[in-house]
Chains A and B, each alone.
Chain A
Amino acid sequence: MSISLAPVQAVVPVSRSRLNELWNSLDAPVTGRRVQGTVPVALAAMALMTTVAVVVVPTGANLWYPDSLSHLTVARRILDSNQPGFQQLGTVWLPLPHLLLLPFVADIKLWYTGWAAAILGIGCLGVTSAATYRVAARLGFRRMPRLVAVAGIAVNANMLYLHTTALTEPVLMACMAATVAGLTHWATASRPLSGGELAVYAGLPAAGACLSRYEGWILVISMVVFIPMIDVPRLRGQHDHPIRFTVTRRLIPALTPPCIAVGWWLAYNYAMFGDPLDFMIGPYSAHAQQQVVVRQGTLTTQHHLGLSLYVYNWAVLDLVGWLLVVLGFLGFLIAINRTGLGVVTLVSGLLFGTYVFEIASLYFGQTVMFTQHSLPTGFFNVRYGISPLPFFSLGTAALVHFIQRWRGRLGSLAGFAVLVAVIAQAVWVAESPVSRSPVVQEGAHLNAGRANAAAAYLRVHYDGGGILIDESVASNGIIPLVHQPVKQFVMRASGKPFVETLAHPTLYARWIVVSTSTGANSLDTPDAVFKDMELNPQLFAAYSRVYVDPGHSIYELNP
């Protein structure tokens, strides 16, 4: 038997040529809708994210954020709960992330390990990276600035960690990036895009952003400014009424999908909870939660612009990284200097909208952030600092782009140096993520206050029967950790059964999990079940306490 090396030798040049082809495609000019290199970039980002997920998910760190567990539970209970259905979406959070999680959380193991969220995160990072690449390409950037734009986002350790969780940032980022890509396409297309195309390319992802997080709504407002600023100047001389044309043929089509999305959300709130603004001022809204902070007197950013800037800017520096912030800002200034209010500047400005939104939210007291630079210090919503990452990443790419235009080789070298620095920064954070990544640190901090031990007890000892729990208490957000179907839980989201169980616990609940914390110094409402136990001890006389820790107890119905 003889073995021929010929096929192997043949493969090598083919691979090399494909690699060359791939490498060249990253530098190819944009032709119409096609932007070469999009798919490889998306696949590379997804491969990176998959690697991160494979490392992180088995550790359980992807479930550290209580909100992450809650998002998984909200998604799962649409399919699996006492009263399954879309009303389980609730009003606390916008619905799209939960809807996107649905196909994955249907599998119970994917649900309770958090892989469901990680899979969605892999897809989101792929979309975000590809969209960012397309934005950079359509702005006329060459290969190196395109890669810088993508790497700035996809090789950020904080960003990667967030994409392993079920938090809503990944979906928002993907939708925003897709929207900006659509708008950039429209703004740079040699053939004017129709209103319908604009609605599809930008309006639909904007609708997704609107249904992901409220930053998406700001994006839509930014679009209202962006589209006329691009369109009106170039229509002058071509149309008698450029503003009217822009409004009717561009703005309205582009805004229709997000407006429908927002309208649907208001209608949903009205239909399900009797108030179209329930998401904003309802009992479980962020506004209601913040009243605790207001009462404590610790909403210190409210009406203090200086402190709002200080707190948020530090969060941005910590999460985005000094390098990207400095270079990105410099790139933005140079873009203004070189192009004025050109497309590069306006697209960057579009992304800058989230920064303005966060500052305004802090100043008006709509958002609370506790970081190591807030008053008082703490860990709460630190992750909001990641929102302007696309702005700084694109700004850095613009800087490289302009250096490249000025001195071609120097620009490539600068881009390469930025790439190396971004990767080195990510590796440095990965070496000790809990101490070096603020979002991981926040997750670890929140995880430390959660009833993990109680969940472990229930996971081991549960042998059937209903589990009564007030899941609205943050430290009680342990449902996935018990590894049991959600329908076994009787909780606030169950609606009427929850009320009935509080009145007749022995009929429906074999297990009771309560937070015994007074809640005096937390953002939580007191545990409704524990409160009921204190007020009506006779109803719970048939239960024995089988587990206790300083913050939680588990009761089991006596045989």
Chain B
Amino acid sequence: MKRRFRLITCSAVILASTVLVLPIDAASAAVVGPRLEQPLGAHPTDAHRSYAVSSSFSQPSNSPAQLIRIPVPAGVQPTSVRGRLTFDSAAIGTVVVMAHGVDVQRIQKRASDLSARITVALTPEDVVGGYVQFSLEYLTNGVTDPQQFCLVPTSGTVQLSRIAITFTGQEADPTTLARFFGPAVTAVSIEVPQGASRSVEAAALAAASAVAHRYSRGVQITVTEPSNASRAADVKQTGGRLVVLRPTSGPVRASIDSVGGTHRLTLSGSPNGLVAAATALGSPYLTLANVSNASSLHASGHAVPASNLSFADLGQPAPTVQGLGQSQFSVGVSQSNFNAAVKSMTVHLVGQHTAIPSSISASLQYFWNGQLVASELLGATTLIDKKLRIPSTQMAANNTLLVQLDAVPSKYVDGSGAGTSGRGFNCQGVASFLPIIVSFDGKASTFAAETGTSSDPGFARFPQVLGNVLTVALGDTSADTLSNAAGLISELQFANASQLAVEAVDPSTLINSSAPGLLVGATPQQMNQLGAPLRMAEFRSINQGDRNFGVGVDRAFAAMEAFNQNGRDILTLSSWAANGDSATARTLEANLIHSLTHSAYGWSALYDNLEVLQPQDTAGVLVSSNDLVPQSAVVTGFNSYVYWIVAFVGLVVVMWLLQFGSRRRLRRRAIAMVDAQVADQAGSDEAP
């Protein structure tokens, strides 16, 4: 769905500002044709190697079997897939794994089981279109076939994770730019020269964003310099890709090759040109680059806010619910789908349903993020024209609209009872009941967004509040700061529907601007300038009993903060050590980013507005800055408001002085007038 939406938004907006030119020496395939047909590198063939897949899959109990598709690198032959099943309930049941049409494994789950392992032997017919395919079904409570029940109780979910594919053969070298970033890529390392200029750093960050835009979360993306190469993603493994940025004086060129088994894309050219070229790596039109060498590769611009999206835009061209019992469909809609922060939403559903016979009661339920927001009985008319107003209190960064049809016979044909269980009844319905179908128009049914913020300042406002433009500043020029920024940007990009346009600026520019942005490696002074809720100094939590941290003067920490400053949202990464031990502090920053990029849920798992990592922690502690005792730097930051009193008293005194002066003048005039009158009177009295 995410990819579909990318196509739509990109075609609508990015095209206007994107130019992807491939005229190089590869204007026609004939020029490079012979080379393309040859592998760019040769590797020894290993038998039964394996590679890890970072994706995970979730399967609710007693739901229809889920088809799981895992991309396979070209040239390899999968022989088996291994994975770990994790259960979230104590239900007793069975997990059924099906491949090539047969049950290949059945795992009995006891109440006490929390996890289990699966190993599925694969045959060539299990690889379809470059994907390993198998199905997963989770049955509990004695259910043997969910299709035979309309209302089956769910008993938790099983999650398949830690997937590894064992294979024979050798990954084929990508021969064109179009194939370089194939679906089976698992890790991308972006390398820049040591001490790279700000423009090259910007290009690296743009590349990280572009690559993250191509993939869903799980693909490891790093940006490193030679000095911190240990933080680079392992690209020697199957599915690994290396992107090298090489600043030169000439025009931008992109070329792919393979070095020591590592598939490499080299972007060379002027630093400014590299930014545009790196941005183009996220473009869907890269698939047009059927060449191994290209020049003038560039893209710019970003998707602009959209106020309306149809269900079709979000991957539901013709949603339908049907049958007796319960059936449902859902549409996922993120705020970032609108390329802006969304305050509230109006959902307009347009559709038709079959005529409802008197022997059946049917209703539609509308759930927003699991909460019932509307319900209607079907029957009066076959037209569905429903508007749902979603207030800001129910808006999340990622939302799900679930439409559920409940249809039950009022009475069986034999006159007995009602309901969806019992003899002779199943989901396909008893023959004497007319089918119930509700179809929605995927183009006419829309989500209309009202832009604005629906949550308090914090991590939940990102990335949608960026409006697809990520202004980023690095607090220093260290390689680790660049790597940290790349880690953050890739996570933000994974959470964003459209590609982020990365704009690198100086910290002072970001601080003085009104645009939302990201400041990585911020210094204590910069944090003070931004008015961050947590300054780089010692602090403690309000309720020590509820928190597992309490920072003293001698304990370093790294902190990621999301806050509002002068009406714009800022995200910062910074650190502090009491004794000025900047090395420890920097390490903590790197660890904080590592814990974020290697966590199960990434950005979506962040809440509140502050994540703090201390030396003894393996993962950061999420907390609201409101739960911290305000630091003295924060409190004294309000001292300037004392001038309000000065201004107030000053105004009062000025007004009073003006009145006082005016009164004196009037009095003088009055006295002068009276004196004059007296003098006149005296004169007239003296006159004969």
Contacts and interface: CB of A to CB of B under 8 A. Distances in A.
A305 B642 CA distance: 6
A333 B635 contact: no
Interface in A450-509: none
A447 interface: no
A339 B660 CA distance: 9
Contacts of B627: 376
Contacts of B645: 305, 309
Contacts of B545: 518, 520
A310 B630 contact: no
A376 B636 CA distance: 14
Interface string A312-343: 01000000000000000000011011111100
B543 A376 contact: no
A88 interface: no
A376 B659 contact: no
B543 A296 contact: yes
Contact of A521 (B542, B630, B655): B542
Given A309-B645, A375-B630, A300 B635 contact: yes
A339 B644 contact: no
B665 interface: no
Given A304-B638, A337-B659, A340-B659, A296 B626 contact: no
A304 B626 contact: no
B641 A376 contact: no
A484 B464 CA distance: 52
A334 B652 CA distance: 9
Contacts of B540: 297
Contacts of B659: 336-340
Nearest to B629: A297
A375 B632 CA distance: 11
A521 B635 contact: no
A377 B545 CA distance: 20
Contacts of B639: 304-307
A298 B656 contact: no
A378 interface: yes
A164 to B, nearest CB: 24
B628 interface: yes
B554 interface: no
Contacts of A309: 641-642, 644-645
Contact of B626 (A337, A378, A518): A378
Contact of B641 (A307, A337, A341, A521): A307
Interface string A431-459: 00000000000000000000000000000
A333 B546 contact: no
B626 A306 contact: no
Contacts of A336: 652, 655-656, 659
Interface in B417-450: none
Contacts of B638: 304, 306-307, 310, 375
A304 B640 CA distance: 10
* Listed residue (B540, B640, B658) with the most chain A CB atoms within 10 angstroms of its CB: B658
A369 B635 CA distance: 15
A290 to B, nearest CB: 15
B656 A520 contact: no
Contacts of B401: none
Which size bracket describes the interface of B in this complex?
20 to 34
A376 B655 contact: no
Contacts of B656: 336-337, 340-341
Interface in A361-411: 375-378
A260 B288 CA distance: 92
B76 interface: no
Interface string B642-663: 1011000001100110111001
A310 B658 CA distance: 29
Interface string A113-130: 000000000000000000
B635 A375 contact: yes
Contacts of B642: 305-306, 309
B634 interface: yes
B109 to A, nearest CB: 31
A173 B660 CA distance: 33
A376 B635 contact: no
Interface string A226-250: 0000000000000000000000000
A339 B642 CA distance: 28
Given A337-B658, A376-B626, A378-B626, A304 B636 contact: yes
* Listed residue (A306, A313, A518) with the most chain B CB atoms within 10 angstroms of its CB: A306
Interface string A516-547: 00101100000000000000000000000000
Interface string B204-247: 00000000000000000000000000000000000000000000
Contacts of B543: 296, 520-521
Contact of A377 (B626, B629, B644, B658): B626
A217 B659 CA distance: 32
A309 B642 CA distance: 7
A328 to B, nearest CB: 13
Nearest to B624: A376
Nearest to A302: B635
B655 A304 contact: no
A413 B652 CA distance: 27
Contacts of A296: 542-543, 629
Contact of B542 (A298, A334, A339): A298
Interface in B108-159: none
Contacts of B663: 340
Contact of A333 (B626, B655, B660): B655
Nearest to A313: B644
Interface string B531-555: 0000000001011011000000000
Nearest to B627: A376
A376 B542 contact: yes
B641 A310 contact: yes
Nearest to A522: B543
Contacts of A297: 540, 542, 629-630
Contacts of A300: 630, 635
Contacts of A518: 545
Contacts of A304: 635-636, 638-639
A449 to B, nearest CB: 15
Contacts of A333: 651-652, 655
A337 B629 CA distance: 45
Interface string A283-306: 000000000000011101000111
Nearest to B540: A297
Interface string B50-75: 00000000000000000000000000
Contact of A298 (B546, B629, B636, B652): B629
B423 to A, nearest CB: 40
B578 to A, nearest CB: 19
Contacts of B641: 305-307, 309-310, 313
A378 B624 CA distance: 12
Contacts of A521: 542-543, 546
Interface in B343-388: none
A532 B501 CA distance: 62
Nearest to B643: A306
Interface string A70-99: 000000000000000000000000000000
B653 to A, nearest CB: 9
B542 A340 contact: no
Interface of B: 540, 542-543, 545-546, 625-630, 634-636, 638-642, 644-645, 651-652, 655-656, 658-660, 663
11 contacts: A296-B629, A300-B630, A306-B640, A306-B642, A309-B641, A309-B644, A334-B655, A337-B658, A375-B638, A376-B630, A520-B545
The 3 closest A-B pairs by CB, nearest first: A306-B641, A297-B629, A375-B630
Given A306-B636, A309-B645, A520-B545, 15 more contacts: A297-B629, A304-B635, A304-B636, A306-B642, A307-B638, A307-B641, A309-B644, A313-B644, A336-B656, A336-B659, A340-B656, A340-B660, A375-B635, A520-B543, A521-B543
Interface of A: 296-298, 300, 304-307, 309-310, 313, 333-334, 336-341, 375-378, 518, 520-521
